[in-house]
A and B are shown apart, each in its own frame.
Chain A
Amino acid sequence: MHFSEDDLREALKRKDPGEGFTQRVMARVNQAQPGNKTVLPQKPNGTFLSWLTHRPAWAMALAAMLLLAFGIGGYQYSEYRHAEEMRIARAKQQQLQQEAERARDQAIMALEIARAKMNHVLQHAQLQAEPTDKIRRERL
C-alpha cells in the first residue's frame, strides 16, 4: 500500500471533536470504578528512615527514649529477679526453720516417750521387788 503526501495531510488534519466533548469526557471519568484504581507499591522502611535522616533531633530523641525504656525495663527485670531470688531464699529458710522446729518437737516428744516408758518399766520393776522385800522382812 502506498500513501501519498496528500493522503497523509488529509488523515492528520485537525478535526472538530463535536459539541459536548468535555461533558462526555467528564461522564466517562465519573463512570470509572474506585476498585479499578491501581495501588502503587510503597517503600515500607525507606519512608520512615528517610524521614528520620532528615530530622536528626527526632532520631536522637527516639534513640534516647528507646535507651531509657530498655534501661528501665532491664532495671525492673533485675529488681524482679532479685526479689524473686530473695523470696525463694526466704521460703527455703522458712521451710528449713519449720523442718527444724518439727524435728525439735519430735525429739522432745521422743524423749518424753522415752522418759515415760523408762519410768514405767522402773516402776513395774520396783513394784515387783517390793513384795519380795516384804516377805523377806516378815521372815526375818
Chain B
Amino acid sequence: MNLATRKLTLILIAAVLGFASLRSYGQDAKLQLGNLDKLSQKAARVTDVTLDGSLLQFAVNLIEKADDNDKDVEQLQSIIKNLKGIYIKSFEFDEASQYSKADIDAIRSQLSSPRWSKIVQSVEKRRNEYDEIYVLKNGDKVGGVVILVAEARELTVVNLVGDVPMDKVASLERHLAPGEKHSDKPKQKKESGHDQE
C-alpha cells in the first residue's frame, strides 16, 4: 500500500466516523424508554405518547394552518415548529413503590453524558420524590429536554427532542389541551393527604 492509498483510506475512515458521530449527535436527545413498558401492567393510569417523523409533521402542518391571530395557537406554533420528537411515558399507580430504583437509573444513565445538564432538581426523600429537569446543549441552542418526575405513586418521563423553548413550554395556556387536562392540582391534594398521615 503506497502513501497516497493510505492517506485516502484514513480520510475515508475519518469521514465515516464523522458521519456516524453526526448522526448520533442528532439522535442522542431521544431516550430509550422501552424498559418502562413493563410498568403498564401495574399502573392505574398510563399515558404513552410517541410523536415523531411524519406524524409530528402532520401535527405541525395542521397547527400551522390554524388561526394565526389566536395567541395560544401562535405560542403553540412557536414551540412545535422546531421539535423533532415528543416522547412521554407517564404511569400513575394506586399504591406506592410500584417501580424500582433500577427503572429510574436506566433513564438517568442515559442522561449521564456531559452534554446533558441537570438544570433543576427537587428531592424530597421523606416522600420518595425525585423531580429533575435535564437539558441537552446543542451549541447555543437546546437539543432536547427531559423532565423526570419520580414520585411515590407516579413515574413520568417527558422527552422533547429538538430546539425546545422552555420558557414558552412552561407558560403554555392550560386550555390548549383537548380532552382531559393534566393538571398537577389533584396531586397536591394527594400530597397534602400524605402529609397528614
Contacts and interface: CB of A to CB of B under 8 A. Distances in A.
A104 B63 contact: yes
A81 to B, nearest CB: 30
B106 interface: no
Interface stretch (B20-28, B33-41, B108-116, B174-182): B174-182
Contacts, number: 122
A78 interface: no
Interface in A111-125: 111-125
Contacts of A103: 51, 55-56, 58-59, 62
Given A106-B49, A122-B120, A99 B58 contact: yes
B86 A105 contact: no
A104 B184 CA distance: 23
Given A113-B182, A114-B88, A115-B170, A104 B177 contact: no
What is the predominant secondary structure among interface residues of chain B facing chain A? mixed
Interface in A90-138: 96, 99-101, 103-125, 127-128
Given A103-B56, A107-B86, A122 B182 contact: no
A99 B55 contact: yes
Contact of B51 (A101, A107, A120, A125): A107
Contact of B59 (A100, A118, A121, A124): A100
A121 B132 contact: yes
Range class of the A interface residue count: 20 to 34
Nearest to A109: B177
Given A103-B56, A116-B182, A110 B88 contact: yes
Contact of B131 (A112, A113, A114, A124): A124
Contacts of A112: 172, 174, 176-177, 181-182
B124 interface: yes
Given A111-B86, A114-B88, A120 B184 contact: yes
Contacts of A113: 47, 49, 88, 90, 156, 158, 182
Contacts of B13: none
Interface in B156-181: 156, 158, 160, 166, 169-172, 174, 176-179, 181
Nearest to A127: B122
A116 to B, nearest CB: 5
Contacts of A101: 62
B162 to A, nearest CB: 12
Interface of B: 47, 49, 51, 55-56, 58-63, 76, 79-80, 86, 88, 90, 120-124, 129, 131-133, 145, 147, 149, 156, 158, 160, 166, 169-172, 174, 176-179, 181-184, 187
Given A108-B176, A113-B156, A120-B149, 8 more contacts: A100-B61, A106-B59, A108-B177, A112-B174, A118-B158, A120-B184, A121-B133, A121-B149
